[in-house]
Amino acid sequence: MSVLVGDETRLVVQGITGSEGKFHAERMQEYGTNVVAGVTPGRGGDEVLGVPVYDTVKEAVREEDANASAVFVPPAFAGDAVMESLDADIELCVAITEGIPTHDMVRVNRRLDEVDTRLVGPNCPGVITPGEAKIGIMPGNIFDSGNVGLVSRSGTLTYQLVDSLGRRGVGQSTVIGIGGDPIIGTSFIDSVRAFENDEDTDVIALVGEIGGSDEERAAEWIDENVTKPVVGFIAGRTAPPGKRMGHAGAIVSGSGTGTAESKMEALRDAGVRVAETPAGVADEIDDLL
């Protein structure tokens, strides 16, 4: 069983006629993802990479039975592109775009409460079930099929951890990059819940960073609900308060929450094995398997 994406995924790429959309659509096709359509308003009737282009996501869902979308649309228009997927009742929308205005994401999150669509992102590397399908920009060649479910706010740290796992012969069931913006769709809790319920996941890895309180909330949920072993890592221990570090959400306000120390303490209190480095996460996981 896969989490979020798999052999059953039928993907529509929003923005497929743009350079980024086309490039990554081709990489997803090469990996084995079933890309069934593209969407670019005004380009309906065209064909890109052997798939038809439609003016709207609703048309792609109706004509090609698409059940997932990937958003490669410029920031000023990406919020509307996500809303279009939500209005089309698509099952999964993965928003890769970075820099979507916060007020657009507030509007999107309000709409999420009214639909059944799962949003991953924005500003994320995507989702991959190794050997089956990927949606997003993750380099598929570094992933191997296995039994570790990984959720991360950082794409770079994801790749580093996956490489460390691969060197130990450890593969992944599914990897979810939730994104580092202040307002996102799928949270750590959502992802951990999915891995807890996934029969192919034996160990859960959680890679967080400074800023916000998502990791602390996840720690509380893990303590009360998770039976599988969890290994964690928090990036940004040396970041000074008030300074943004990389992601828009990676900023410590100085209120005593959101620091690497507070997150690590919360995770340890929940029984999570917290490593000091990404390689240490791989060591902890290897020890558990």
Q: Which residue is listed with tokens 């240490």?
A: 280
Q: Residue 31: give the domain boundaries.
A: 10-120
- What are the structure tokens assigned to 129, written together? 């079930």
Do 274 and 150 belong to one domain?
A: yes
Band (pLDDT 50/70/90 cuts) for residue 211 is: confident
97 marked ligand binding residue: yes
Do 206 and 251 belong to one domain?
A: yes
17 marked ligand binding residue: yes
Residue of 118, 153, 247, 273 marked active site: 247
Q: Which of 55-59, 227-231, 235-239, 273-277 has the lowest mean pLDDT?
A: 235-239
Taking each helix axis as running N to C, give the angle between helix 75-87 and helix 57-64, from 0 to 180 degrees, rounded to the nearest 10.
40
131-161 residues labelled b (16+ CB within 10 A) or e (exposed): bbbbbbbbebeebeebbbbbbbbbbebbbbb
Q: Which residues pair with 37 in a beta bridge?
A: 12
Do 86 and 49 belong to one domain?
A: yes
- Does the annotation count 247 as an active-site position? yes
Q: Which residue is listed with tokens 């993802």?
A: 33
Q: What is the CATH number of the domain that holds 70?
A: 3.40.50.720
Q: Which of 58, 55, 9, 56 is nearest to 36 (CA)?
A: 9
Do 98 and 186 belong to one domain?
A: no
Helix (H) / strand (E) containing 191: helix 188-196
Do 84 and 173 belong to one domain?
A: no
H, E, C per residue of 34-91: EEEEEECCCCCCCEECCEEEECCHHHHHHHHCCCEEEECCCHHHHHHHHHHHHHCCCC
- What are the structure tokens assigned to 122, written together? 């924005």
Do 222 and 167 belong to one domain?
A: yes
> Does 32 fall in a domain?
yes
Structural contact between residues 159 and 192, judged by C-beta atoms closer than 8 angstroms: no
Question: Residue 250 pLDDT more than 50?
Answer: no
18 marked ligand binding residue: yes
> Does 128 fall in a domain?
no
Do 47 and 14 belong to one domain?
A: yes
> Does 5 fall in a domain?
no
Alpha carbon distance 222, 207 (integer Å):
14
Do 168 and 252 belong to one domain?
A: yes
* pLDDT tens digits, 276-289: 988 899 999 999 98
Average pLDDT value for residue range 147-169:
94
Alpha carbon distance 9, 289 (integer Å):
29
pLDDT for 242:
53
242 marked ligand binding residue: no
Specify the number of domains making up the chain. Answer: 2
Q: Please count the other Cβ atoms lying within 10 Å of the Cβ belonging to residue 45.
A: 9
What pTM was estimated for this model as a whole? Answer: 0.93
Q: Which residues, 6 or more positions from 271, have their beta carbon under 8 angstroms from its beta carbon?
A: 222, 223, 230
Do 261 and 154 belong to one domain?
A: yes
Structural contact between residues 131 and 107, judged by C-beta atoms closer than 8 angstroms: no
> Does 174 fall in a domain?
yes
Do 80 and 160 belong to one domain?
A: no
Q: Which residue is listed with tokens 């809303």?
A: 83
> Does 244 fall in a domain?
yes
Alpha carbon distance 143, 136 (integer Å):
14
Residue 280, helix vs strand vs coil: helix
* pLDDT tens digits, 89-135: 999 999 999 999 999 999 999 999 999 999 999 999 999 999 999 99
Do 164 and 34 belong to one domain?
A: no
Band (pLDDT 50/70/90 cuts) for residue 19 is: very high
Do 36 and 152 belong to one domain?
A: no
159 marked ligand binding residue: yes
* pLDDT tens digits, 31-51: 999 999 999 999 999 999 999
> Does 188 fall in a domain?
yes
